[in-house]
Structure 1
Amino acid sequence: MEQNRLGKVISVNISDKKGVIKEPIEYGVFEVGHGLKGDAHAGDWHRQVSLLGNESIDKMRNIGIEGLVPGKFAENLTTEGMILYELPVGTKLKIGETLHEVTQIGKECHSGCAIKKQVGKCVMPKEGIFTIVLKGGKIKSGDIIEVIHE
């Protein structure tokens, strides 16, 4: 199946602590080599920004888990229209004013994760992706996500 090269941001989410649900904000300021300004996961490492597709969240809704809103899986950007976890590491994404590079697909869940406790199961380990910020700027809900290099 051909991967869709365009997607959309449906929510920008932030938290000041790790391992907790993130809250949607109007827009986020993303800084080169850091990530989302004010977010607990931002920093000088390879997982500056986390993205999760609404399509992945729908899988959880379809097995009967209720109350799933953007940020519930601690993702910085909730997206739609792309199968994020099929993007190869190294893919460049133009998101709003910013430019990102995919650095990791999925992650290991840590024990004591508030999301897994509250939700019961998590799609982030298999279907969430992580990026570093190559060009900073603002991202808001409704911004287009474009694959510019795979």
Structure 2
Amino acid sequence: MVAVSRDTGHAFSKPLEPSIRLLAGLGIEGDAHCGVTVKHRSRVAVDPTQPNLRQVHFIHEELLNELNAAGFNVAPGRMGENITTRGIDLLGLPVGARLKLGESAEVEITGLRNPCAQIEAFRPGLLKAVLGRDAEGRLVRKAGIMGIVLAGGDIRPGDAITVTLPAQPHRALDRV
């Protein structure tokens, strides 16, 4: 784990923290997106009772490196993620993959982050940079993955992340 972040408000970027606490069934203590029901403003406007499948947001450091090489100047936490990873193919994980974080925390992956217009306001051109097309012309979302907290615990930069895949057949991630 490279970095951990949280923010009590709905700002686009989240400040880095020395540690964060994951709460089972809720998300990250003190984060604006913590809760059983959805907290993202656009989703609340549609149906505030829908379950919160976006309690924790992960981005891989490799994406930040790619974006920085393209001149975007983004650091951990700046794209709104709670956890910045290194060396894990986040986008290649299937729905239901479980990430054990540190000593006791566990998150189940629910889907892809669907980048919104806020990303463009943060850095012009960034929306296009985090969207692409695969060989078949299908949209590829690279702005991270989302999950729900199964087991709570404190995590910090440097903690190990262990991936457990669900039983086959695997279902590819889609936006949540």
Instruction: State the TM-score, normalizing by the size of structure 2.
Output: 0.73
Identity of aligned residues (%): 33
CA distance in 1, matches of 2:63, 2:79: 11
Unaligned stretches of 5+ residues in structure 2: 37-51, 132-139, 167-176
Q: Which residue of 1 aligns with 2:110?
A: 103
Asked if the contact 1:103/1:131 (under 8 Å) is kept, the reply is yes
Q: Which residue of 1 aligns with 2:163?
A: 147
Q: Which residue of 2 aligns with 1:46?
A: 53
Q: Which residue of 2 aligns with 1:82?
A: 88
Q: Which residue of 1 aligns with 2:170?
A: none
User: Which of residues 7, 15, 21 in structure 1 aligns to 2:7?
Assistant: 15
Instruction: State the TM-score, normalizing by the size of structure 1.
Output: 0.85
1:71 corresponds to which letter in structure 2? G
Compute the RMSD of aligned alpha carbons: 1.6
User: Which of residues 14, 19, 36 in structure 2 aligns to 1:27?
Assistant: 19
* Structure with more strand by fraction: 1
How many residue pairs match? The answer is 138
2:91 corresponds to which letter in structure 1? Y
Unaligned stretches of 5+ residues in structure 1: 1-8
Q: Which has the larger radius of gyration?
A: 2
Q: Deviations over 1:67-94 (max 9, x none)?
A: x111010000011011101100110111
CA distance in 1, matches of 2:115, 2:16: 24
CA distance in 2, matches of 1:48, 1:88: 17
Q: Structure 1 stretches (4+) deviating beyond 2 angstroms? A: 122-125
